[in-house]
Each structure stands twice: as C-alpha cells, then as structure tokens.
Structure 1
Amino acid sequence: MTEDFDVGADWHVAAPYDFLRRLRAESPVFHSEHLGAYVLTRHPDVRAAYGDPRRFSSKGSLTISRSLTAETKERLGEHGSFLSSFVANVDPPDHTRLRRSVSKAFTPRAVAAMEQAFRRLNEDLLDRIAARKQADFVAEIGHEPSIKLTARFIGVPEPDEAFVQAHVKDWFQLFLSPQPPERQLELADSFLTYLDYVDRLVAARAKEPQDDFTSLMTSLIGDELSHREVVELISTILLGGNDTVPNQLGNTVLRLLREGVWPVPPELVANAAEECMRIDGASLGSFRYAITDISLHNVKIPAGSLVLLSTDSAAHDETVFPDPERFLIDRPNAAEHLVFGYGIHFCVGAALGRLQLRTALDVLGRRLPHLGLVPGQPIAYRRSLVGRGLTSLPVRW
C-alpha cells in the first residue's frame, strides 16, 4: 500500500474506514512513515497487545508529541516528560500502585452518586436554553454538564471552570494534535500555566482537605503517591471530563440524528451508547513501545519501536462486528469495542463515562424529542492523532 495515515488530512479522523479496512485485509501490521510507528489494526491483535504489558509497554507512551520542536521541548523543560508517572503511561509495579489509589475514588457507590448530580446539570442547562429552539451542540450543550461534573469531582472551584477548560484544550492541542512551531510555544506557555494551577490546587487541599478527589489523592502523598503523581492524575482526569466524554456525546448525537433514531427508546439507551462508541469512538487508539522483537503476521516489529493500537480499526473489524459500517442500535456485542482499552489499562473512569453518556441521552431525548440537525451545515472534525471530536454541530428543536 502507498497510502498512509495523515493527521493533517480531513479524512484521517472523519472517514478513515475504507483505509483501515484495507489495512486489516492486506497489511494488519502496518508501518506508518507518517506516524513513525507500527500500527495494529485487527481486533484480536489490538486486544492481545493491550493485555500484554510485558511485550507492549505503556512506559512513556503518552509522554510527548513526536512533533514538538527542540525549542518547544526546551520551553517545557522537565514538563516535556509530562505524564511520565500517569497511570496509563507506566507499567507494573508502578501501574498497580497508582491504579489502586485512583480506584478508591471510583467505587460503584461513588459513581452512582454522581448520576443524580449529572442529571441535574443537564436539566439545568436545558432549562436555560430550551426556549431558544437552536444551538451549537458542541459549544452550548454537550460540554458544560461534563465539565461541571468533573470540576466538582476534582474540587475545581466554579469560577475556575472556564480557565481549566481553555487550558485543557491547549493541553490537548500541544501533545495530541500537530501544530506549527510558533503555536507550539504559545500552547507550551498555556500548559505550564495550567500545571501551576493544578499544583497550587493540590497544595491548597493538603492544607485544608475537602470532600473531593484532589483531597483524597493528596491524603495519599508520602504513603502511596508522590506530589507529581497527584498533579498528573488530576490534570489528566480533567482532560477526560473536559474533552473526551463531551466529544463522545457529540459524536453520538450526530450518529443518532443521522440514523433517524432520536429520541432513543429508554430500554435501548445503554446499547445505543455502546454502538455509538464502537462506530464513532472519541478515542482512536493508544501508543505502546515494543519491549522485545515481536513477530506478527510475518512482520517483525523491532524492540524499541513505537506501536499504535488502533481501537478505531478494531471497532470496525468485520470478523468481530458483522457489517461494521452499519449502525445497529441493538447490536448484541457492541460493547466489545476497545474504546476504554483492555486489561490492566482498562480506563478507570469507564463506568463514569458510560453513565454520563446514558444519562445525557436520557435527559436530552426526553427534553428535546424533536432535536434535529440544521440543514446545510458542514460537519467538521478537529485534527488529532488519537481523538475524534466535532468542531461544531448546529442543531434545532
């Protein structure tokens, strides 16, 4: 094949499925010059790699965008290795210790308690805008409840929510989206400002604990966690709540409206959410490093090579999901997608993410049963290595 991944092209995020289908058939282990990585495209291979940290290491896999210039790296200094101790970016035994600590905040009871708070946030938002009859779903509906829920969970004061959202957006662009050199420097300064904010939040909770995630994690410093580990945990959970979950909701609403299944019947909401994550996942994959030489499908992946586990391709693998480009609201195995990862790195916030998606669909479907797309508006996705999110979605009701 001569075609390659191309993060700068519109098709890369919006419609890569013909390309990925050809890779699965002809080159299931594909060396991408553009990404500088080997790409695993078949569902069984992606799943097996997630479950094999002894050969596919997470250590350093999120650490830095490979497109950063030397000047940007110098500006970042020690923070160029940001996420070096984040739970998804390390191997056992550090991973085991970090995950055990984080899991204390994501008990089933704690997650269930957040459902009512998230439902109320969605209801409050719709109370304010329902009479308008039109909005940009991305800018005005999809993000706010998740941002507010995450802020309350972490312990971010309400006046700081907009600050955090803006800086998290810069965080994503710097590390996970290609940027020109001058823009990289602007984003690096924003990122350092954001880290300083989180650092001060951790210090404040160490002095005066409250009933929030930051206080819980801060209480573990010295015994189970380091200060830096807590800062990185908080920074990255804020990314999920401010970015990944809202992006998945936008992708999901677009899919459901295009398929003509709005509002979703209550008994089908949970499975519809899984099928939307499968067919339009907000997460496109994860990087790993090959610890040893790996032979797979007659391709040798040399030790030290970067490897992309393409969950996007895995979710469209026709050997696992028959007729994968077709949306089936009652697909029996929709939840076998790998959007949340697999094995020891299965997303610790998966239950909360699923709860948010289901709750939002339930409230939106009941409050805006006549929701529809504004005709004639182009649908565009932001450019990214690892995420799928709409730049806007004009809707009316």
Structure 2
Amino acid sequence: MIPADFDVSADWHVADPYPFLRHLRHEKPVFWSDHLQMWVLTRYDDVRGAYRDHTTFSSVGSLTISRTLTERVKETLGEHRSFLDDFAANVDPPKHTRMRRAISRAFTPRAVSRLGDDFRTKVDAVLDQVIPRGQADFVAEIAHLPSARLAAVFIGVPPEDEEQVKHWVYSWFQLFLSPQPEERQHELAQDFLKYLDYVDRLVTERRAEPRADFVSLMAELIDTGPEGLSHREVVETISALLLGGNDTVPNGLSNAVYRLMRERANWEEMVAEPELIPGMIEESFRIDGASLGSFRTTTTPVGLHGVTIPEGVQVLLHADSAGHDETVFPDPERFDIRRPNARDHLVFGYGVHHCVGAALSRLKMQIAFEQLTTRMPSLRLAPGANPTYRRSLVGRGLAALPVEWDER
C-alpha cells in the first residue's frame, strides 16, 4: 500500500521511500505534504530547474527547518534558532557569491589532494586497529572516525576536543532535523549552544594567533572590507563544515558498503577491478544518497504541471527522488556500477549552490574504497545483521552496520 504522505517518524521513510516517490513522480509531481508543511518536487527536470532558478527558489533560510521546536526551546535558543542564516548554502547572490569565493580558497585542487593524502593515512590507521578483530560496526568504527578526524584537522579542532565536537554535531542534527520529545529537545538545545560557543571561541583564538588551518584562513577575512566576512559568517561556516565531515560523508560511505554487501557481485568486481570504484561511487550517490534534497522558499507564485505553488512557501527539492527518475536513469532501482550517466545525480545540488566540498567528498569515498577493497576484500555483513536507518527529515544514514571479514 502506497503511503498518503511523508512521515519522518516511520521506518519506511528513509529505509525504502522509493515506491512512494515513484507514485509522486507519476501522479503528483508537485505535491503538498501536510506532514512536512511544504511543497515537494520529485521529478529530475523540476528539481534541477529549481536549483538553477535561485531567483524564484530562494535559498535564504533553507537550512533553518525548526518548526518542530517547542516554544520553550525556541526561547532557550534565542537568536540561534535561526542558526546558519549566514552560511553560504543558506543565502542567495550576491552574498552567496562573496561567501563562496572566500570558502573556495580552502578547496583548491592542490589543497584537496593534500587532504586526500591525510585521509588515506587516517583510514589506514583505523583499519590497522580493527582488522585483527575480524568484526566491527562499520558505521561507528570505520566510516565515521577517519572523516571526523580529517574534518577536525582541516578545520583546526585540537585532537583532545574531537570527541566532544562529534557529540555536539550529532546533537545539532537531532535538534533541527528530526522530531524529538520536548525534554530531549531542551537537552539538545543546551548542547547546541555549547557547540556554537566553542566554535566562536575557536575563531576568536585563531584570529589572535593564526595557525595553518581553515579557521585561521577564515578568521583572516573578518572585517576586511566588501569582500571580507563577518565574525558570525565565519562561525557559521566553520560550524556547518564540521557537520559535513562528521556526518554526511560517513553516511554516504556506510550506505554504499551496505548496498555492496547485499549485491555481492559488484563488490567482487571492484576488488578485481579497482578502476570501477569511481563509477560505483557516483551510482551509490544516485541510488542511496546520504542527502535527500534541499529546501527553498518561493519568491513568486510558481505554476508547474497544472499546480500553482504560492509565493513565500517552502519547497523540498527531492534530489533523492530525482536520482530515481526513470526518464533520466533507466531501470533506476538497479545498482549499475557501470551506469554511463550516474554522475548526473543531484546529490551535491546544481547551479550556483553546487556543494563546494563535492570534490573532497568524492576523493574521500575513492580513497576509502581503495583501502577497503585492498585490505578487507572479504568484507561482508555479519550473520543476523539487520541494519536500520536513522529517522531524519534530510538524510539517509544507518544507525549501525555490523560487518565481519577474514583475518589476515
């Protein structure tokens, strides 16, 4: 039976939403969701078109999805309940152009390559620890650690603070992007305020005593004229990039491994032919993207497929549904690591808001799979494993993934 609406509290919502999304693409491509209280676009051409038309589909406030917060928690958060108002992905040109130009200074090809070398070292260090055991929770013990550590080093978080920052980041996701009971919201809000205070102090310290890290690079741009950044813009940029390193890439890696373990022939092919890894990564992004899509707000009424979306309402651009659009990706439910157009997925957005960290995300996935296929070719799901997905409005991530391998 096809569900009538989205339901982020339901198991099917992130585990297997594709029959429902297929129904929407065919029957209601412009869909009003009572549960989400927003419009949803599900067809590839419509999602890509909305990404491209940033004038009509504004990014301002797109990451501030806090309608589930209680009044008590909103009062506790104060001005920070609109956190990320000054992050590049949450604004439109010309402010977006200025901020993206500043952030891009840290993501040059040479810098990304250097980060890749660091990431390979961190992946190997984690594998050195777990391989002798013959089993692990892939999510917690393999996927998250190297990415979180690299993000910490890149940003400039001291090693002794890494675990605390990871805890705060997880609280951020729970608070803003998944429904929580009132008391739990209050606990998460306290964590979130501590997180912001920590990043604020880190920026202040690096501004006074710069180091060779991203915080220092951004701090140098504070109050430097028209092309500079404000203190708050820097704090929110740092905070958001830590979110990605601690959650988005690890989720994508875990999703890909889970898919490969279920479709073993593809894994065996990659072990034998490592040159298949880049195509597999793109196909994994397409079919099991860690991000479900992006939020936008209409600046004028929009007529689409006989439906008028009013001005000033939120719209979910469902990139995950777009990746399963049969008109663009034939036989979309088949995991085809040789799919010629897999890279046309919209997981990293499109147009001016294409993710500035996309190249680094791809490189980290590439390195992780090179090391996994080389050092753990017998990797497989543990007997009786029944992985479940975390419940979230915006992403697909596994809560745990028990795996094992032959000790070498």
How high is the TM-score relative to the length of structure 2? 0.96
Alignment match, 1:394: 402
Q: 1:258 aligns with which of 250, 255, 262?
A: 262
Give 1:291's aligned amino acid. T
* 8 Å CA contact 2:66, 2:81 repeated in 1: no
Q: Partners of 1:301 and 1:181 in 2: how far apart?
A: 32
- The residue aligned with 2:5 is 4
- 1:230 paired residue number: 234
**Following the alignment from structure 1 to structure 2, what is the Cα–Cα distance between the partners of residues 164 and 22?**
40
| 1:271 correspondence with 2:285 | no
Task: Report SS of the residue matched to 1:327.
Answer: coil
Aligned with 1:92: secondary structure? coil
Looking at structure 2, the residues matched to 287 and 348 of structure 1 have their Cα atoms a distance apart, in angstroms, of 17
Output the CA distance in 1 between the equivalents of 2:133 and 2:323.
Answer: 37
* Deviation of the 1:64 alpha carbon: 3.5
Shift of 1:2: 6.7
Question: 1:64·1:80 contact (CA, 8 Å) conserved in 2?
Answer: no
Alpha-carbon shift at residue 182 of structure 1 (Å): 1.0
Residue of structure 1 aligned with 2:373, choices 350, 355, 365: 365
Residue 167 of structure 2 aligns with an amino acid whose one-letter code is A
Q: Is structure 2 residue 40 aligned with structure 1 residue 39? A: yes
CA–CA distance in 2 between the matches of 1:312 and 1:329?
Answer: 17
Name the amino acid aligned to 2:80: H
- Opposite residue 249 of structure 1, the aligned amino acid is L
Runs of 4+ residues deviating >6 angstroms: none
What's the secondary structure of 1:62's corresponding residue?
Answer: coil
1:136-175 alignment to 2 at 5 Å? Answer: 136-175=137-176
Query: What does the per-residue CA deviation read over 1:150-194, in whole Å, with 9 as the maximum and x for residues that have no partner?
Result: 101000001110001000000111111111111111000000001
Report the identity percentage. Answer: 63
Q: The residue matched to 1:320 in structure 2 has which SS?
A: coil
What CA distance in whole angstroms lies between the structure 2 residues aligned with 1:203 and 1:64? 28
Partners of 1:304 and 1:2 in 2: CA distance = 27
CA contact (8 A) 1:262 1:371 kept: no
**Counterpart in the other structure of 1:50:** 51
User: Deviations along 1:342-391, whole A, 9 cap, x unmatched?
Assistant: 00000000000000001100001100000000121212000000010000
Preserved CA contact (<8 Å) 2:61 2:90: yes
| 3-state SS, counterpart of residue 283 of structure 1 | coil
Is residue 40–residue 309 contact of structure 1 (8 Å, CA) maintained in 2? yes
Residue of structure 1 equivalent to 2:193:
192
Residue 267 of structure 1: how far off its partner (Å)? 0.6
Residue number among 298, 301, 315 corresponding to 1:290 in the alignment: 298
SS at 1:262's partner residue?
Answer: helix
Aligned residue for 1:143, secondary structure, equals helix
> Which runs of 5 or more residues in structure 1 are unaligned?
none
1:1-397 matches, cutoff 5 A: 3-223=4-224, 224-260=228-264, 261-263=266-268, 264=270, 265-397=273-405
CA distance in 2, matches of 1:292, 1:12: 30
- Matched residues, number: 397
1:388 partner letter:
R
Question: What is the TM-score with the length of structure 1 in the denominator?
Answer: 0.99
Give the conservation status (yes or no) of the 8 Å contact 1:382–1:388: yes
For residues 300-337 of structure 1, what are the alpha-carbon distances to aligned partners after superposition, in whole Å with 9 as ceiling and x for unaligned? 00001110000010000000000000000100000111
Asked whether the 8 Å contact 1:214–1:234 carries over to 2, the reply is yes
In 1, Cα distance between the equivalents of 2:396 and 2:3?
Answer: 24
Instruction: Give the distance between the partners of 1:115 and 1:378, measured in 2 at CA.
Output: 32
Query: What is the letter of the counterpart of residue 19 of structure 1?
Result: F
Hey, what's the Cα distance between the residues in 2 that align with 1:119 and 1:377? 28
Contact kept? 1:164, 1:194, Cα under 8 Å: yes
